Chain A
Amino acid sequence: MSLDAATVRRVANLARLRLDETEVEKLQTELNGILGWIEQLQTVDTDGVEPMAGGSPVPVALPWRQDAVTDGGQADAVLRNAPDREGEYFGVPKVVE
């Protein structure tokens, strides 16, 4: 499979990355190089193999916890690193006309 420029733009769009035209061309070459190399996985027989989803080498069940509030009431700590804030809210450009 080879990526065309339109696909590179579509993926950048999905990833919310702004690209200029020279970057599209450069990424297209680089991504095709990487994907071409990854292509060798298609030769592996994986019929009937369960995909490994997590990282644990031994079977583990994800733990459960009480569905209860454990934290909160720290608006200032939460907002301290925000690039823009309005009172106790994150500031963003207008999204509704």
Chain B
Amino acid sequence: MMRPTDYTIAGGLRALEKREISAVELTEAYVKAIEAHNPRLNAYITVTGEQALAEARASDARRAKGEAGALEGIPLGIKDLFCTAGTRTTAASRILGDFVPPYESTVSGNLKRDGAVFLGKLNLDEFAMGSANTTSAFGPVENPWSRANDPTKRLVPGGSSGGSAAAVAARLAMGATATDTGGSIRQPAAFCGIAGIKPTYGRCSRWGIVAYASSLDQAGPVARNVEDCAILLRSMAGFDPKDSTSANVAVPDFAAACARGVKGLRIGVPAEYTLPGLAPEIEALWQQGFAWLKDAGAEIVPISLPHAKYALPTYYVVAPAEASSNLARYDGVRFGARTAERDSDLRDLYERTRAAGFGAEVRRRIMIGTYVLSAGYYDAYYLKAQKVRALIARDFAEAWAKVDAILTPATPTSAFAMDERQDDPVTMYLNDVFTVTANLAGLPGLSVPAGLDGQGLPLGLQVIGKPFDEETVFAVGGALERAANFTATPQVMA
């Protein structure tokens, strides 16, 4: 017997079309699943169950009238970084704890336009800064997976889109929106055994998404499989005149590309990604990935990305610099929380508001960013990082002459425990070693669940593609998915 939460998005759309299930039935099942498991997982900051049921009834009515959109009746979770009109949007920060946007982000608006139902707002690292979802002002998110030999140890879901990934893995949403600045879609997707794509920079509008680092931020979906990601991305993407960096390019049928196969494709293996100390299980899965693609008719081609090893330090100059500028707007005057004493002057109000409103990791990145942009250090740090970024992007541009896509591990390890790696910021930053290059170069990157480690935890592979060639990325991802046949499910699941 098929339970409502068993449907993928593609399967759910077919079942809705055939009237085997209604949007209300689907939504009720997800609202119940959230009630049952969210108290433990903490994947949602805000649950909008009543509103979701009302949207589902309206959706069923539209379908009955023959007016079904591309995502008609599909219950989704929205990362709490996307502004949703009339629904609190916190960025998981105290400073935005009570912020109710009067407008809708373009991406969430596109999903609504296509008939999606919103279940609520998903937890994340504060302002999307983190790799473990432990910096949220609304508490950490727990990974629904656990270690076979230590089942009570609570693991992180990855970050920053930890709530999105945990909710989809535990079936508290059919799919979810997420954002990725250095790996924030792909790393949590890998840690939670689901798929997630960061599209090309400019593919999805950033309008109405709380900004972290504007030249790196991109929205994308997480879902149970590659095809569902393709379906969601088609709705999310598209040119938006309200974002000056939004790309005016056509949005293809990404889902059609998933079944295309990889016959004749050239897949790059970057020499520099064989890191010393890489877990043998990750190395083995990576080799397995090449074997799968070769069996499916692809050609494996060695390439070199000589500047990739500088990607993380480059990111930790560029991203904090942009963050320090973007987060200057939180001043306790126009919106958000204010902290002041009776006799505070304006400057004291700013300083107290920002000290009380931002968590430790956000303050740390604002400090780094302010420092690298300050007089006397700008050339040595910020300008230097922008030049190294150009070299990282150039390495990829040269690789595209030889290959159609690149295959790498998604993460250097499987999910770690909530009490691990919290002491040293740099150790935490290393989580993004395989993902961050795609942000710096603006390229699409897809994480596909491909296997389990010795503890039964999911591991992912990453496919990086050419600018605006998500179709090839989906084709490679689809082939990996078929070969890997990843059917394992987490211990906590609706």
A73 close to chain B: CB less than 8 A: no
The answer, among A16, A52, A60, A82, for a CB contact under 8 Å with B386, is A52
Asked if residues B245 and A65 are in contact (CB atoms below 8 Å), the reply is no
Chain A, Cβ-Cβ closest to B217: A55
Bound CA–CA A49/B392 (angstroms)? 11
Chain A, Cβ-Cβ closest to B218: A55
B349 close to chain A: CB less than 8 A: yes
13 new A-B contacts at CB < 8 Å, known A16-B351, A55-B215, A84-B333? A18-B354, A27-B363, A33-B426, A37-B426, A41-B314, A41-B317, A44-B384, A50-B390, A52-B389, A53-B215, A55-B201, A74-B102, A81-B100
Q: Is the interface of A mostly helix, strand, loop or mixed?
A: loop
Q: Which residues between 312 and 337 of chain B lie within 8 Å of chain A, taking CB atoms? A: 313-314, 316-317, 324, 328, 331-337
Asked if residues B102 and A77 are in contact (CB atoms below 8 Å), the reply is yes
A58-94 interface bits toward B, Cβ cutoff 8 Å, 1 = contact, 0 = none: 1010110100000000100110111110000010111
Say how far A48's CB is from chain B's closest CB, in angstroms.
9
Say how far A58's CB is from chain B's closest CB, in angstroms.
5
Interface-central residue, A27, A53, A55, A58, by most chain B CB under 10 Å: A55
The answer, among B201, B333, B381, B443, for a CB contact under 8 Å with A83, is B333
A22 close to chain B: CB less than 8 A: no
Bound CA–CA A81/B337 (angstroms)? 9
Chain A, Cβ-Cβ closest to B100: A81
Q: Residues of A contacting B380 with CB < 8 Å?
A: 1, 42
A residues at B contact (CB < 8 Å): 1, 3, 7-8, 11-12, 14-19, 27, 30-31, 33-35, 37-38, 40-42, 44, 46, 49-58, 60, 62-63, 65, 74, 77-78, 80-84, 90, 92-95
B376-396 interface bits toward A, Cβ cutoff 8 Å, 1 = contact, 0 = none: 010011011111111101001
Asked if residues B441 and A92 are in contact (CB atoms below 8 Å), the reply is no
B338-358 interface bits toward A, Cβ cutoff 8 Å, 1 = contact, 0 = none: 101000111111111011001
Bound CA–CA A91/B493 (angstroms)? 48
Asked if residues A63 and B244 are in contact (CB atoms below 8 Å), the reply is yes
Chain A, Cβ-Cβ closest to B307: A44
Chain A, Cβ-Cβ closest to B364: A30
Asked if residues B247 and A92 are in contact (CB atoms below 8 Å), the reply is no
Asked if residues B346 and A92 are in contact (CB atoms below 8 Å), the reply is yes
B221-254 interface bits toward A, Cβ cutoff 8 Å, 1 = contact, 0 = none: 0000000000000000000010011010000000
Say how far B352's CB is from chain A's closest CB, in angstroms.
6
Asked if residues A82 and B335 are in contact (CB atoms below 8 Å), the reply is yes
Bound CA–CA A58/B334 (angstroms)? 36
- Which 7 pairs from chain A and chain B are nearest by CB? A51-B386, A57-B442, A81-B335, A55-B215, A83-B338, A18-B351, A46-B387
B371 close to chain A: CB less than 8 A: yes
The answer, among A42, A57, A62, A81, for a CB contact under 8 Å with B443, is A57
Asked if residues B393 and A41 are in contact (CB atoms below 8 Å), the reply is no
Bound CA–CA A90/B312 (angstroms)? 41
Interface-central residue, A35, A50, A74, by most chain B CB under 10 Å: A35
B287 close to chain A: CB less than 8 A: no
Q: Residues of A contacting B215 with CB < 8 Å?
A: 53-55
Chain A, Cβ-Cβ closest to B317: A38
Q: Residues of A contacting B331 with CB < 8 Å?
A: 16
Bound CA–CA A55/B405 (angstroms)? 20
Asked if residues B393 and A34 are in contact (CB atoms below 8 Å), the reply is no
Asked if residues B337 and A11 are in contact (CB atoms below 8 Å), the reply is no
Bound CA–CA A49/B390 (angstroms)? 7
Asked if residues B316 and A38 are in contact (CB atoms below 8 Å), the reply is yes
Say how far B5's CB is from chain A's closest CB, in angstroms.
35
Asked if residues B386 and A80 are in contact (CB atoms below 8 Å), the reply is no
Bound CA–CA A46/B248 (angstroms)? 32
Q: Residues of A contacting B371 with CB < 8 Å?
A: 3, 7, 11, 31, 35
Query: What are 26 residue pairs bridging A and B, where the CB atoms are less than 8 Å apart in the complex?
Result: A1-B380, A7-B371, A15-B324, A17-B351, A18-B351, A27-B364, A27-B367, A33-B426, A34-B364, A38-B313, A40-B310, A42-B380, A44-B387, A46-B391, A51-B387, A52-B386, A52-B387, A55-B214, A55-B245, A56-B247, A78-B102, A80-B102, A83-B333, A84-B338, A93-B345, A93-B349
B374 close to chain A: CB less than 8 A: yes
Bound CA–CA A60/B203 (angstroms)? 13
Bound CA–CA A23/B99 (angstroms)? 28
Asked if residues B354 and A16 are in contact (CB atoms below 8 Å), the reply is yes
B456 close to chain A: CB less than 8 A: no
Asked if residues A81 and B336 are in contact (CB atoms below 8 Å), the reply is yes
Asked if residues A82 and B247 are in contact (CB atoms below 8 Å), the reply is no
Q: Residues of B contacting A35 with CB < 8 Å?
A: 368, 371
Asked if residues A62 and B244 are in contact (CB atoms below 8 Å), the reply is yes
Asked if residues B370 and A44 are in contact (CB atoms below 8 Å), the reply is no
Q: Residues of B contacting A63 with CB < 8 Å?
A: 241, 244
Asked if residues B345 and A34 are in contact (CB atoms below 8 Å), the reply is no
Bound CA–CA A54/B374 (angstroms)? 20
B366 close to chain A: CB less than 8 A: yes
